[in-house]
Amino acid sequence: MRNDRNVADVSELLRVGSGVDLGAIDPAGTPGLPDRKAVRRDPKGWARAELVMLGEELARQQEMLFASAKVNPADQRRVLLVLQAMDCGGKDGTVKKVAGTMNPEGLRITAFGPPTAEERRHDFLWRIRRALPLPGYLGIFNRSHYEDVLVVRVRELASPRVWKPRYEMINTFERELVDSGFSLVKVMLHISYDEQRRRLLERLRDPTKYWKYNPDDVDNRAYWPAYQQAYQDVLRRCGTDHAPWHVVPADRKWYRDWAVAHLILDALKRLDLSYPPAAFDPKSETKRLEREETGSASKMNGR
């Protein structure tokens, strides 16, 4: 198991801010992967094996987060993973592989599609607020409020007068979340134009993947440079100190899962969680149970 310093290191390496140049980040890169012989020999095998261990630690941290909120209603801490990516960027795969290591009962996963008629009658953050995780939970947004400055901007679903002020509105909203106990983990899964094409072709070759294929995705490829520009603006304008963005190179799925697991684990470890102490006296409770009449069991079972 890698130590805490490594977990924080990966997080540090992937963090981006106002100066980011998205075009300079290699979607096939593997930043933070240890430079050891065993890793170089079989990086994929190594990363997949480590994901199992990271998953066990994620599950333990998640349980402590859940337990803390359950025992202490004043504890407002919770974690929210925001996943953004181009089509085929691997959002669903990441949820399956990384969230799949945790207890599903403590997860609150929401996939945001085009807004419904009801959602369109409210401001763009309305549906987001309704999907926020309660204290103790780990929330995951598969797409998010960022679509309102990505697809909305690129496909001109609203005028600049509408979407331009949203960067600041998002920063204010996220500040409010952080102040009320949220740890935000914002992740852009970064794939290349070529990798998207490979994945689209893969979906066309496999009938069990047809349902994931949408002809619009191919039309959308013409807007690739505009999307990259819109993403870069998101990273630059909303990569704040209280809620930084991370760019995870995602052409290699095994690296992507390994890296996202690190990012969530880093956020959980920063909370310095522990199992809450007993709010009762374990000794006297044990005595109460041991004092129960022998023979009461068969009586109680009515047999």
Interface residue with a copy of itself, options 224, 233, 236, 269 (CB under 8 A): 224
DSSP 132: P
Interface residue with a copy of itself, options 2, 9, 39, 71 (CB under 8 A): 71
Q: C-beta of 175: minimal distance to a copy of itself in Å?
A: 27
CB burial of 131-154 (b: ≥16 within 10 Å; e: otherwise) equals bbbebbbbbbbbbbbbbbbbbbbb
E strands present in 25-147? 78-85, 107-111, 138-142
Q: C-beta of 115: minimal distance to a copy of itself in Å?
A: 16
Rounded to whole angstroms, how far apart are CA atoms 102 and 90?
Answer: 19
- Burial class of 205 by CB neighbour count within 10 A (0 to 12, 13 to 18, 19+): exposed
3-class SS at 108?
Answer: strand
Q: Scanning residues 73 to 112, which ones bind a copy of itself (CB under 8 A)? A: 92, 95-96, 99-100, 102-105, 107, 109, 111
3-class SS at 73?
Answer: coil
The Cβ-side half-sphere exposure at 178, using a 13 Å CA radius, reads 15
From 41-49, 67-75, 119-127, 156-164, give the range in contact with a copy of itself by CB under 8 A.
Answer: 67-75
Q: What would the two tokens of residue 90 be?
A: 């691997």
Q: Scanning residues 242 to 301, which ones bind a copy of itself (CB under 8 A)? A: 275-280, 282, 285-286, 288-290, 292, 296-297, 300-301
From 42-50, 168-176, 186-194, 264-272, give the range in contact with a copy of itself by CB under 8 A.
Answer: 186-194
Q: Which is nearer to a copy of itself, 107 or 271 (CB)?
A: 107
The interaxial angle of helices 253-270 and 91-98, nearest 10 deg, is 60
Contact status: 142 vs a copy of itself (CB under 8 A): yes
Rounded to whole angstroms, how far apart are CA atoms 184 and 8?
Answer: 15
Q: Scanning residues 191 to 210, which ones bind a copy of itself (CB under 8 A)? A: 192-194, 197, 200-201, 204-205, 207-208, 210
Contact status: 52 vs a copy of itself (CB under 8 A): no
Distances (CA, A) of 104 to 107, 138, 144, 247: 5, 10, 20, 26
Interface residue with a copy of itself, options 141, 213, 231, 245 (CB under 8 A): 213
Q: Which is nearer to a copy of itself, 167 or 223 (CB)?
A: 223
- Please give the radius of gyration of the chain, using alpha carbons only, rounded to the nearest integer: 22
Q: Which residues bind a copy of itself (CB under 8 A)?
A: 23-24, 67-68, 70-71, 92, 95-96, 99-100, 102-105, 107, 109, 111, 142, 192-194, 197, 200-201, 204-205, 207-208, 210-213, 215, 218, 221, 224-225, 228, 275-280, 282, 285-286, 288-290, 292, 296-297, 300-303
